[in-house]
Structure 1
Amino acid sequence: MSELSNIKSQALTERVEERLFAYILDNHLKVGAKLPNEHELAAHFEVSRGTVREAVKLLVSRGVLRVKHGSGTYVASLFPLHANPLGLDAVEDKLQLALDLTDVRLMLEPTIAALAAQNRTDEEVEQLAEYCDAVREKIEAGEDYLIEDMRFHWYLAKCSHNMVVEPLMPIIDAAVISIANITRKELLTMTIDTHKEILDAVRDRDPQAARSAMSVHLDTNRIFIRQTKTAR
């Protein structure tokens, strides 16, 4: 197989991996749920069984799926990366941890958003819009939106097309979880508005606006966390 064919095959596998992860979330599959068999998934995504098999392997490596030989493929986690990659579960001061994690996000995510605005494809920005809408719909329905929030930030990072960003996603995922546990019942309108501003900047291919919108999004979270910490 030529080098170009290898690249195309890898890209297709990664797209199916994304679609399979979205399928799990969109169908509200719980941990322990069994996926359709390889043949059914191949028909659903209109790809070969080999491509599905490779996509499943990627999600297995990220802890999302577990293959039980002779039984099938099962959902192992609803998060594409480990929820505690930094080993910070034992930290007692959760508010200070959230502040420190927000500082790390401020170091990373404004630049990631700028890269996404610069490098995204038309197909990717439409998918990002769907994830943005999913957060808004959950909030407006009064439902927990943590998974949708993580999907938005995770996919924004993928839109950056920077090979070093993906290994950094465990840090961002851990930060999203920690911060959301404090702010997600309070900063609802802000979350909808700033996510939309980030999306609009990415759609407009405006890196500076994307950087600014992400900074505002994170700064607002940081201010709220600091105020909460001060009040205690």
Structure 2
Amino acid sequence: MNSLIENITAIQMESPVDKIIGQLKQLITSGQLKPNDRLPAERVLSEKFGVGRGYIREAILKLEFYGLLKTNPQSGTYVAGLSINVIDSIISDIIKFNKDDFNALLEARYHLELNAVKLAAERRTAEDLVEIKRALELYEQKINTSATAVEEDMLFHVKIAKASKNSVIESMILILIPDLIKNIVETKICGENRGKTAIPEHREILNAIELQDVNLAEKAMAGHLNEIWQISKAGFATEKIIKEIKG
């Protein structure tokens, strides 16, 4: 009986934003919304979903960082390019069904994020810093309500990638990060309290970027990713690499 009770987990209630994101992402990845299709007006979406416009705005903002939507202030919000959608769908399948490829994606994320954070520390602008700080605030607010913060976590990392001023790194992270973080949270490979323990790590990364200290930024990001590497058992020599960076 005790073992049975231990296997019961708390039900996670989806927020209105999460439900909107889920439906829109499904429409995009299924092809019902095709590349360059324009989304209905914010008012129409609000009425259709039965929620306030604020929820619609937040959902659209987050989906932009998934690489699934792009907004033109003059003409509206559109579905992004086909290549991102196709790869997004492929990666979702890989993460779900193939452990070896999932570990390979973790390795790719590790190297991409280290390079992104180093470049961000070197090249970030004052505007970039404001956006990274805001992303971290959103993450902390969500975590402090005892809710999961998958999109907010992803947003923080994407803002860092944007600050790198390297469009290739930014695009790759846009493709990899969303489903990787989602899978890590769902499988709980880092433990149920990972969201809270990541807060000081995120702050260290932000501080290093603000100071424009490239070495400190790299070490902070390596430390942030360390637990994932230790638990994943990927078969790569990643733990050694991280220790060498921490030096």
Question: How many Å separate the matches in 1 of 2:160 and 2:86?
Answer: 18
Equivalence for 1:220 = 227
| Closer, same or farther: CA 95–196 of 1 in aligned 2, 3 Å | farther
Instruction: Mark the CA change 1:175 to 1:186 in structure 2 (over 3 Å): closer, same or farther.
Output: same
Question: TM-score scaled by structure 2?
Answer: 0.59
1:72 aligns with none
Q: Equivalent residues in 2 for 1:106-121 (5 A)?
A: 106-121=110-125
Q: Give the structure 2 partner of residue 203 of structure 1.
A: 210
Counterpart Cα distance in 2 of 1:129 and 1:218? 19
Structure 2, unpaired ranges of 5+:
1-15, 25-39, 45-70, 235-247
- Select between 168-177 and 137-146 the one with higher mean Cα deviation: 168-177
Cα–Cα, structure 1 residues 95 and 187, in superposed 2: closer, same or farther, change >3 Å?
farther
Q: How does 1:11-30 map to 2 (within 5 A)?
A: 28=17, 30=20
Distance 2:207 2:196 in 1: 17
CA-to-aligned-CA distance 1:69-118 (integer Å, 9 cap, x gap): xxxxxxxxxxxx64962624156656555433221111110110011111
Work out the number of aligned pairs and report it.
173
Distance change in 2, residues 1:224/1:133 (3 Å): farther
Of 94, 97, 103, the match for 1:99: 103
Using a 3 Å threshold, how does the CA distance of structure 1 residues 181 and 222 change in structure 2: closer, same or farther?
Answer: farther
Match of 2:128 among 124, 133, 136: 124
CA distance in 2 between counterparts of 1:223 and 1:159 reads 28
Q: Secondary structure at the match of 1:85?
A: helix
Indicate how the Cα distance of structure 1 residues 130 and 191 shifts in structure 2: closer, same or farther if over 3 A, else same: same
Superposed counterparts of 1:156-195, under 5 Å: 156-168=160-172, 169-182=174-187, 183=190, 185-195=192-202
In structure 1, runs of 5+ residues without a counterpart are 1-26, 38-49, 64-80, 228-232
Kindly state the Cα deviation for residue 54 of structure 1 after the two structures are TM-superposed: 5.3
Q: Secondary structure at the match of 2:90?
A: coil
Shift of 1:53: 3.1
Q: Is the 8 A contact 2:95 2:180 kept in 1?
A: no
Deviation for aligned residue 1:161: 0.5
Shift of 1:226: 4.0
What secondary structure does 2:166 align onto?
coil
- Letter paired with 2:196: T
The answer to whether the 8 Å contact 1:120/1:202 transfers is yes
- Higher relative contact order by CA 8 Å / sep ≥ 6: 1 or 2? 1
Give SS of 1:87's match: helix
**Distance of 1:220 and 1:91 partners within structure 2:** 18
Q: Which residue of 1 aligns with 2:74?
A: 53
Give the 3 Å change call, closer, same or farther, for CA 119–93 of structure 1 in structure 2: same
Q: Counterparts in 2 of 1:30-69, with a 5 A limit?
A: 30=20, 31=23, 34-36=41-43, 52-53=73-74, 56-57=77-78, 60-61=79-80
- Contact 1:138-1:145 within 8 A present in 2 as well: yes
Distance 1:141 1:36, change over 3 A: same
Q: Which amino acid aligns with 1:56?
A: T
